[in-house]
Chain A
Amino acid sequence: MRNAHPSHWSWSASAFALAGIVLFIFATFGPPASSSGFVTTLKGFLEHLAPEYAASKAHYRAMPGPGSWLMAFVVGMAVGGFLAGRSTRIPVRDVPRIWERRFGPGRAKRYLATFVGGFLILFGARLAGGCTLGLFISGSTQLAVSGLYFGAVIFAVAMITARLVYGRLLREGYR
């Protein structure tokens, strides 16, 4: 087992902080969500580039455009990531260490993989009605069966997928 980065918070401190934020969001807005923020972002572009198309599609009509809580929330997450990254010694890499060990340092292969992965997480989230935050965390916090069901499926399938992607490292003794 590797040593933890000294800048990381423990799982318990992180959990208290996240629960506090989730409750703040329930109190001041409603159930937190982030995959919906992708719809809001696209709607903003499409309202300029192809307004008739955006108006004709139910998925865009169902979400607010820019100038909404959702848009501010996802932009805020990027700002939060930036501020957190500037104030720690956690190394920022373009190609994660475990990926480099399995597939080498080539950026193109990693970027293609994350583009495809990004496509799948959003396509799946929009089909299910939410993502890790908007369906699993928000839903389970409200004791929703949809959130518990989605959470069980995403954890199980991600664990199987990671074994298919990185399994050779494990067989070579990677820990």
Chain B
Amino acid sequence: MTEVLLGLFSGIAFGIVVQRAGATDADEMARAHLMLNGRIPRFMVSAVALAALGLVGLEAAGVGRTMVLPTSLVATGLGGVIFGVGWGLSGYCPGTTWAAAGEGRMDAVFALLGGLAGTAAFAHLHEVLIPALYLPTNQGPLTLTDWIGNPLAAAGILAAAFGGAGWVMGRLWGDE
């Protein structure tokens, strides 16, 4: 029960923040993808930079649980291409469909229904697609720390790169 309440609380907080950031508005998301406004991508990369530094602290304190997903050259990349087409077309990603549907946007309700259909289709084909596309090029759960050695240094490099990318987006795309 505690787990359900924690999930509910986390979800409510998350939904409020993505709405206030403008990420539930497909008009704003399209303008981000068209490089007319860098606010949403800058928000995303900056959140990752801050969270990556914070997570080093949590891990040092022995708090929480992490789980690094493997990199499959084909499945992660092809999944990203399919995802990117859907994201560019609809302006929604899986999390924002829930928040935008809750906000009352009917097109997000249809994105949510389409998402359930896409999930059902993939789950049906899992036994065929995972051995064909995921497993052969699975490189395992690689992280930057594997290459750089020190977790704090690796997080610092990532945070600097993401912070820099956000700054460039703000300069080039503007951020109202």
Contacts and interface: CB of A to CB of B under 8 A. Distances in A.
Interface residues of A, number: 126
Given A84-B15, A118-B111, A150-B76, A140 B97 contact: no
A27 B106 CA distance: 34
B126 interface: yes
A114 B104 CA distance: 15
B22 A8 contact: yes
B63 A27 contact: yes
B83 A154 contact: yes
A111 B111 CA distance: 8
B79 A161 contact: no
Interface in A61-108: 67-85, 88, 90, 92-99, 107
A12 B170 CA distance: 11
Contact of A118 (B4, B112, B158, B176): B112
Contacts of A19: 46-48, 50-51, 54
A74 B128 CA distance: 28
Contact of A26 (B47, B64, B101, B118): B64
Interface residues of B, number: 129
Contacts of A83: 12, 15-16
B107 to A, nearest CB: 4
B44 interface: yes
Contacts of B14: 18, 21, 32, 73, 76-77, 80
A117 interface: yes
A94 B58 contact: no
Given A84-B103, A120-B82, A132-B93, A30 B117 contact: no
B19 A80 contact: yes
A55 interface: no
A46 B175 CA distance: 44
A146 B68 contact: yes
Given A116-B114, A131-B93, A92 B104 contact: yes
Given A19-B51, A34-B95, A124-B82, A73 B24 contact: no
A131 B65 CA distance: 19
B160 interface: no
B172 interface: no
Contacts of B114: 114-120, 122
Contacts of A114: 26, 89-92, 107-108, 110-111, 114
A92 B105 contact: yes
B78 interface: yes
What 6 A-B pairs have minimum CB-CB distances, sorted nearest first? Answer: A76-B11, A80-B15, A157-B84, A117-B90, A161-B88, A128-B79
Given A15-B49, A88-B20, A129-B134, 16 more contacts: A2-B176, A3-B176, A9-B20, A19-B54, A30-B66, A84-B99, A98-B31, A99-B27, A114-B107, A119-B121, A122-B115, A124-B78, A127-B134, A141-B51, A146-B69, A146-B142
Interface of B: 3-22, 24-27, 30-31, 33-44, 46-52, 54-55, 58, 63-72, 75-108, 110-124, 126-127, 129-130, 133-134, 139, 141-145, 151, 154-155, 158, 162, 166, 170, 174-176
